[in-house]
Chain A
């Protein structure tokens, strides 16, 4: 007997005492919890996102289409990187004023090569106000998962209010499980040493989130 058959057989025998439960999944799970917490206007939801991002030590900026290139230039200049990683279809105008040399992540690039790049600029798939979370789904304006992991500085642009939802349930509804997803809430952190929070262990130690409103 294969282990597959053995385990499935054990499961069935283990449940032999349980009365037949023909209730479909829909009836077995009462979803009496809220779709979102509290009532907010669209603007208030964006404010809450900004507040919660900052609460988890992301650096938040607000700007519009016109000012964005200058803001990105300034944020990069403050760190002074020589290279900046960009995903395949980041809107080119975002980087139009930036000084560092743009590097594209190619499939053949090795992690060691990417390790020489200090900053990365991406878009995002959705942002969750209640938790202060941005979610990346590997779309062409976000790139492979590794590009937002190896550099020490991540600038993520969120289109507000379009890409902002209130809650976790709303975010999951918008996301496609077939894509590789990364949920990011603040820079990486550890509390493993006497529960003192230290920001930045392996992921980018600086996370800057730019809330971009339509002009």
Chain B
């Protein structure tokens, strides 16, 4: 993954800083609770939710099982529709391809619609290094970019900023990037949105190159789908002459009909709406409508390594709805930045250590950034068993063992005695010793079936407490931790 987060402190330290920041905590709490409740209502409207969720899981599993075939089919379909397909094994290669494609147009500016994949590979920084300015156009991304900040939520990346801070950022920074904010800008959301509209419009109207990701790629037709709210996506996808879409290889669905599942589950899970304001679908290029040149960059960057892991591969089903963030008691307290990657919250805790490996302190500590309460699994629209993967990854960190890195089979050494282990241990303590973080998640007892001794992290010693867990299946994890570690060494 990108170097953006290199040097991140491990989860517990970053989380502790976040908890000390009361603005951040207040914003996060308000935001996650609001979306969470709305989501529950939107989901309750569909009495076939369980069947939709199951179908979503099956579609993704089937695609992953035959991913080689579907990748080739995507390539054929997109090419037949007038697009050009590129393959990028890692972040550097993807950045290089995109930079080269932009350079070939002779342009030095691009407009971007929010995309996790391009954040993951650190595309903006890579383009900057080659003299190309990338303008983020999603309101929240704009706030983050102008504030020289990092996103903290998949869906609402500036969730950690309140309106007063946003006004200050707009006032002081917009002029540096283009049209300045109006003189008398107040902090009402409508005025702030208007300032962003004016600031960005001049960029959209003159943009020659757009860069996007995609929520879905349909193999049989070569269709890409972008789901959004603000219309900046439509601007980036239709006004420029050249469009470059960087898409993780796990975004494929086999058939057109499959969209009927995800277009029902994604909006309700993410923004808690029956349908998001705008969804764009395009297949290659269309004569005299939209970009004349279309490039699709298929990105691996650790995804095939993740696919090689029997338990962990289910993380590739993720459709990035962010529902798991909004119900996570640990995320609510720690905030998105503590996860040290573009993927925060429960999904980040299982995705980052797989995409990047568990070599660094932050990645080794992420599988411990959870109380295993299981709320994330319950809301996940593709039924990813996040607690199961977390436990599996803990085992990987502690015991080491076979894994695939960069396409090669390797044997990971146990983290015992290493900085990584200490970081992991502190993360576990952080998560387990603060009742406030856990009060909402007490469904663990039902989830301990996952903690069969076979999969437990590590032999005795430092982890003996954890190993005892299955013996007390009826006892919530927090109670167990309190009982066995009561009062010891926990950050308050």
Contact = CB atoms under 8 A, between A and B. Distances in A.
A29 B232 CA distance: 34
Interface string B218-262: 100101000001111011001100000000010000111111110
Contacts, number: 257
B230 A188 contact: yes
Interface residues of B, number: 99
B51 interface: yes
Given A2-B87, A14-B404, A177-B283, A188 B31 contact: no
Interface string B270-308: 010111111111110010111000000010100011011
B278 A18 contact: no
A7 to B, nearest CB: 5
Interface-centre pick from B34, B190, B273, B298 (highest chain A CB count, 10 A): B273
Given A177-B281, A182-B278, A194-B27, A202 B230 contact: yes
Contacts of B129: none
A163 interface: no
Contacts of B308: 10, 13-14
A101 B282 CA distance: 31
Contacts of A14: 304-305, 307-308, 313, 404
Contact of B280 (A3, A56, A182): A182
Contacts of B484: none
Contacts of A141: none
B58 interface: yes
5 shortest interchain CB distances as A-B pairs: A203-B231, A202-B231, A10-B304, A14-B308, A188-B231
16 contacts: A3-B87, A3-B93, A11-B67, A11-B304, A25-B254, A33-B52, A56-B274, A107-B288, A110-B205, A180-B283, A182-B281, A188-B229, A193-B158, A195-B34, A201-B139, A201-B232
Given A30-B54, A138-B289, A195-B34, 12 more contacts: A2-B87, A3-B87, A3-B300, A7-B87, A33-B48, A115-B201, A180-B286, A185-B274, A188-B231, A193-B158, A201-B231, A203-B234
Interface of A: 2-4, 6-15, 17-18, 21, 25, 28-34, 37, 52, 56, 107, 110-112, 115, 128, 130-133, 138, 144-146, 149, 168-169, 172-173, 177-196, 198, 200-203
Interface of B: 27, 30-31, 34-35, 45-48, 51-52, 54-55, 58-59, 61-62, 65-68, 71-72, 75, 81, 87-89, 93, 137-140, 143, 156-158, 162-163, 166, 189-190, 192-193, 196-197, 200-201, 204-206, 218, 221, 223, 229-232, 234-235, 238-239, 249, 254-261, 263-264, 271, 273-283, 286, 288-290, 298, 300, 304-305, 307-308, 310, 313, 404, 407
